[in-house]
Amino acid sequence: MTALLEVNGLRTRFHTPEGMVYAVNGISFHVDEGETLAVVGESGCGKSVSMLSVLQLIMVPPGEISGGVALYRGQDLLKKTDNEMEAIRGKEISMIFQDPMTSLNPVLTIGRQIIESLRKHIGMDQKTAEHRAVELLDLVGISDGLRHLDDYPHQFSGGMRQRVMIAMSLACNPSLLIADEPTTALDVTIQAQIVELITKIRQQVGMAVIWITHDLGVVAGIADRVIVMYAGFIVEEAGVDAMYENPRHPYTSALLNALPRVDQRRGERLKSIAGAPPSLLVEPSGCPFVRRCEYAIERCKIENPPLTLVEPAHTIACWVDIRTGVPR
């Protein structure tokens, strides 16, 4: 099976007054048709920036995509002009964002915001587009859509707005949906509804989803494959079951250990990872996780481990086999 999107060696950095920020440092991954890929990692590890880079949504300057290719159906997105990208964004690849409270334009009606991309990408006339907008609202669970077309975002709750965002992103039947922490800003019950909604729609329309999150619970429920990012690098990639049952990178393992467990004794402190992620202002050398890693050896300080296949469909970037604690 050929990949829908294949990213190779993507590097993104930002020129800031404090110096160069190395946000994404040569990451490679792929998404197949109809697959759900989860990208996890803590805040600032480059999850969002890498996806924004793929769509050329990074502000240039200060941003700069300094290397790599992003092949979507065989075409390099990073080489496309603004006009060519406009035809792809929203039509082939859509994106939804973290905060539904700010992602909708407060002065435009819901209807107009959904209809806009229908008219632009598919060239629908106003009537047909309105009809389609009502269908879309129905699809995302907002009934009586006709009445809501003339509503403004401020009349909607956070969950409703995220549904509208999803309706907008689905308008042109994209092949790939990039969901950038779509549930982070919502409360837990709404989170569950939105997760369920996207999963349901994904099955209905058969699109691929890249789900950016730091909620490992969500990942377990929806993803086919998982990528773990740390300080602008991919440190582990595996199928979702392998990732949870058999994490092979020290960071992934520590991350999973830090999850609160139902069977944990009351009053027991939650485990955490000591230290803080490295400053992205320093050009990376050696393994980015070395200072927080309990398995670190001399080699980790000098040489950054490349992603290596350790089991079928399971790659990690580590010099050490954490099951035995000895260098591989």
Q: Confirm or reject binding of residue 90 to another protein (CB under 8 A).
A: yes
156 lies in the binding site for another protein (CB under 8 A): yes
Stretch that binds another protein, among 39-47, 136-144, 152-160, 274-282 (CB under 8 A): 152-160
Range 169-180 burial, b when 16+ CB lie within 10 A, else e: bbbbebbbbbbb
CB of 179 to another protein, least distance (A): 12
Which stretch, 91-99, 212-220, 288-296, 317-325, contacts another protein (CB under 8 A)? Answer: 91-99
Binding residue (CB under 8 A) for another protein from 3, 42, 122, 152: 152
- What ranges make up the beta strands (E) of the chain? 3-16, 19-32, 36-40, 63-72, 75-76, 93-96, 176-180, 208-213, 225-230, 233-239, 308-311, 314-316, 320-321, 326-327
Q: Return the bridge partners of 31, or none.
A: 5
Q: Which stretch binds another protein (CB under 8 A): 23-31, 37-45, 156-164, 204-212?
A: 156-164
Question: For 231, left (φ over 0), alpha (ψ -120 to 50), or beta?
Answer: left
| Residue in 43, 105, 203, 204 binding another protein, rule: CB under 8 A | 105
Q: What's the N-to-C CA distance of the chain in angstroms?
A: 31
Any alpha helices (H) in 156-277, and if so which ranges? 158-170, 188-205, 216-222, 240-245, 250-257
Q: Report how far residue 256's alpha carbon sits from residue 321's, in angstroms, rounded to the nearest whole number.
A: 17
- And the tokens for 231? 């300080």
Classify residue 156 by its DSSP letter.
Answer: S
Among 43, 75, 155, 279, binds another protein (CB under 8 A): 155
Nearest CB to another protein, comparing residues 12 and 98: 98
Taking the C-alpha atoms of residue 41 and residue 229, their distance in angstroms, rounded to an integer, is 5
64 forms part of the interface with another protein (CB under 8 A): no
Q: Which stretch binds another protein (CB under 8 A): 11-19, 151-159, 248-256, 271-279?
A: 151-159
- Smallest gap from residue 256 Cβ to another protein (A): 30
The reply to whether 267 sits near another protein by the rule CB under 8 A is no
* Per-residue x/- track, 168-197, another protein (CB under 8 A): xx-x---------------x----------
Query: How far is the C-alpha of 157 from the C-alpha of 78, rounded, in Å?
Result: 36
Report residue 181 CA to chain centroid gap. Answer: 7
Note whether 91 binds another protein by CB under 8 A: yes
Binding positions for another protein, rule: CB under 8 A: 55, 57, 61, 82-83, 85-91, 94-99, 101-108, 116-117, 120-121, 152-158, 160-161, 165, 168-169, 171, 187
